[in-house]
A and B are shown apart, each in its own frame.
Chain A
Amino acid sequence: GAVVSQHPSRVICKSGTSVKIECRSLDFQATTMFWYRQFPKQSLMLMATSNEGSKATYEQGVEKDKFLINHASLTLSTLTVTSAHPEDSSFYICSARGVGLEKLFFGSGTQLSVL
């Protein structure tokens, strides 16, 4: 099956710093990428949708200036959490969809801890 690689798997940073999370589709072209966030014991909540070469569409309540999404190529999307604060500590996971693929494929997730 299709593989989505997400890095890093875990990151600890100080408050105020920026963190970049990468999501790569290894064996297919990801025309659409979805970024989710999951707080403990909660469901995955969609943050934004990005199509290659276009600006991301953010869900209501998600700050686009804080969560910068870049989808510059068909195999790479990045999420940058700018000026991270402790309340941004969460599990972030990407999902990719390729042309002709029915399923959405998920990365392994990134656990972000902001001190």
Chain B
Amino acid sequence: DAKTTQPTSMDCAEGRAANLPCNHSTISGNEYVYWYRQIHSQGPQYIIHGLKNNETNEMASLIITEDRKSSTLILPHATLRDTAVYYCIVRALNNAGNMLTFGGGTRLMVKP
């Protein structure tokens, strides 16, 4: 699976959009971009994933650049409960390890 690079931490004001970037310059054509988050003391939670088109669900939007070398997770109206570590993961379906490789992630702090 391709390696990802994320900022270590970010702050966001409550009610504003949180834009979390991720670089994955070595991504392969069959690899998807996944985002998970981990709220303190809880297990990770799936947010969204995409291949090349932008995606939106009830939690967030995912914007993937045309060359697929980077992406941005957007939380449109961040709340205090969105404070968490956000993990960007790039992986192919059917990869032999069947595992998610969690890097350091971005620690998002939403402030009142």
> Do they bind each other?
no
| Contact surface of A with B, Cβ cutoff 8 Å | none
